[in-house]
Structure 1
């Protein structure tokens, strides 16, 4: 059996625990399965993806459950009512991504669907179309979609042949060099389009992720396109992962002895991985402005902006009495889980933290 534990921001029931109170400590999420609400899960949760105030959990069975703000149908359910505990979305799914008020799903046949709000092209359905229900965006074909990532207002899809497609807000250049309308570049891409980024060879892209107004890639070196500007990044070791916060990027680097995290970008609220920390990293996940790691000791530690309790209860950092947001910054790693049940997956969203455990 499995459980999904969570903490952090919960004003729109996005933790799926049946109330709307922020959580400073981990609690078990609740799932409505066959008419019964339970925290005990027979199928393995393999991924947690988070929007602004809604959350999806993908299971090994291809089922997806959602909860939280459903005002625009972003939870994959009609009606617009808030989903207080996790509820199943119809269908079987291979991949999922969430933006601020929208959701992208990929089924087992390679068809991409969207739902939610699309004022800046987030749904990929054309200008002026909102989603209130799941609608097909594009059919890439079986086994074609390698990865899909969404941020606040844009989505990038990488296919198995390494071609990149995207849609949504393009104003900052986060969707690459677009066709010009007269002398002005398009600020919104309303429907899926193959993307071209200056100086980027699609075939060489190993990892990519999307931040608030930018898209980041790693092939033989790090490149980013959009609002955030970073000088050339020097890495000692083999990069084996890339994840982005809203305004910072984080590389998982394999050295001879261990895995480490190299961070760069905005550090106004402790977003960069603590330089003094040297844990043995097994997994890492990045949220909007905070991160999580799983260590070789089966401990989960958090760092960054923990204003809503997503970094757990503070221990040992400075407290800024005149600035509550600064007081919630965790500059050093803070342990939020250290129990016997093995951790199988991490998830991290907009001021929310997620840990999947296997019950012994």
Structure 2
């Protein structure tokens, strides 16, 4: 960690202060995807490395084996330039620059999209999209979403478990599907980002509107079709946990959706439960407290914890801390954002990004010479 200023490479560290020297030779990391207990790293050269739990084949190395603290290149995709990756509870997705989609891992709920319920230990191309150009995949606990490129009609697809409405394909309860089906209710709007976690799904439009569907927050009924949050605010990023969601506005304010389990969002005594808008099932977003005068640039949500990065490169975390995932040197829960010490002062000399898995957190630091 100490020599990142000299190497010019993006340093990656967990908030429990493990570093990963083996990633340096892979080149700068452009994106991390954190799942239930595995991590996918995407380099700026379009290469992929994975590590963590592999008991369902989610690491993609052709075997059912764990790969702890030793990131391993995904050789089966070396002939492709990968542009996007996503990690679910125990499955993984990879998108190439030509719009091909590959999935592997747990397929017991159809979340791999291959028309069956088999698990796979190596990435396999999803043939359903062979004549389409996939832009993104979002892997949830037992379901997946896909966003097509340059498409405003039939642009989002879902597959896997749909018991809580997280696929958005029908007003009726659907147990699971193994082939992609169109997510309804997004016709006529241009989607630029999708997100999935737990039994929740979300989509962000080009003009900053946020749609959510799936399991209801704070005891509200499940939404089986996408519903636009009733807000005049313009959002630039959204992220989901198991019981909550976060949304970031263009002017750096963070809002939250969902309950206060483990203090994941805020002090329950200071915030009332999410309310319903008149004649609507949409939930009102509450502003995250303790951030007055602070501009936020990046947000992330784990199972029941949250993290953000300020414009000055500070990382703040809060919520469930049982596994040390808040990076604060203890295993306590936190009800409000607390600053994490990285052991050195950035002074704005780097770009910091933070990524949350179910019970762990990673940060990437890019020195200014690469900014």
Deviation larger for 50-59 or 122-131: 122-131
SS in 2 for 1:40: helix
- Structure (1/2) with the larger helix percentage: 2
**Could you report, residue by residue, the CA deviation over 1:226-273 in whole angstroms, capped at 9, with x for unpaired residues?**
22247885545421121111111211112xxx3110112111122226
The equivalent position to 1:263 in structure 2, one of 246, 253, 256, is: 256
Q: Aligned partners of 1:295, 1:329: CA distance in 2, in Å?
A: 18
Structure-2 change in CA distance of 1:309 and 1:142 (3 Å): farther
Q: What is the correspondence of 1:143-222 to structure 2 with a 5 Å cutoff? A: 144-160=133-149, 161-162=151-152, 163-178=155-170, 185-197=173-185, 200-201=186-187, 203-219=189-205, 221-222=209-210
Q: Distance in 2 between matches of 1:138 and 1:280?
A: 43
> Which position in structure 1 is the counterpart of 2:18?
27
- Kindly indicate which of the two structures has a greater share of residues assigned to strand: 1
> 1:296 is matched with which residue?
311
Task: Select which of 331, 350, 365 maps to 1:342.
Answer: 350
Give per-residue Cα distances to partners, 1:135-190, cap 9 Å, x unaligned: 221363698223221110111111120411121001111112349xxxx7531011
Q: 1 CA distance for matches of 2:188 and 2:109?
A: 25
Output the TM-score relative to the length of structure 2: 0.77
CA distance in 1, matches of 2:364, 2:328: 20
Gaps of at least 5 residues in structure 2 are 1-8, 221-227, 267-287
What does residue 66 of structure 2 align with?
82
> Once structures 1 and 2 are overlaid, which stretch shifts more, 228-237 or 48-57?
228-237
Structure 1, unaligned stretches of length 5 or more? 8-22, 32-38, 316-323
Equivalent position of 1:320 in the other structure: none
Q: Deviations over 1:81-107 (max 9, x none)?
A: 211200000223121111111111122
Distance in 2 between residues matched to 1:44 and 1:139, nearest whole Å: 32
Measured in 2, the distance between the counterparts of 1:142 and 1:233 equals 33
Q: Distance in 1 between matches of 2:201 and 2:298?
A: 22
Pair 1:207–1:117, CA change in 2 (3 A) = closer
Whole-angstrom CA distance in 2 between matches of 1:125 and 1:233: 32
The 8 Å contact of residues 110 and 142 in structure 1, kept in 2 or not, is answered as no
User: Does the alignment pair 1:249 with 2:245?
Assistant: yes
Q: Which residue of 2 is the match for residue 123 of structure 1?
A: 112
Contact 2:58 2:105 in 1 (8 A): yes
Cα offset for 1:202? 5.3
- Give the 3 Å change call, closer, same or farther, for CA 132–41 of structure 1 in structure 2: closer
Q: Which stretch of structure 1 is more off in the superposition, 339-348 or 121-130?
A: 339-348
Alignment of 1:275 with 2:289, yes or no, is yes
**Structure 1 residues 342 and 263, CA, compared in 2 at 3 Å: closer, same or farther?**
same
CA contact 2:59–2:121 (8 Å) conserved in 1: no
TM-score, length-scaled by structure 1: 0.79
Aligned-residue Cα RMSD (Å) equals 2.6
User: What are the superposed Cα offsets for residues 183-232 of structure 1, whole Å, 9 maximum, x if unpaired?
Assistant: x75310111222224xx435343543223112123447543222224788
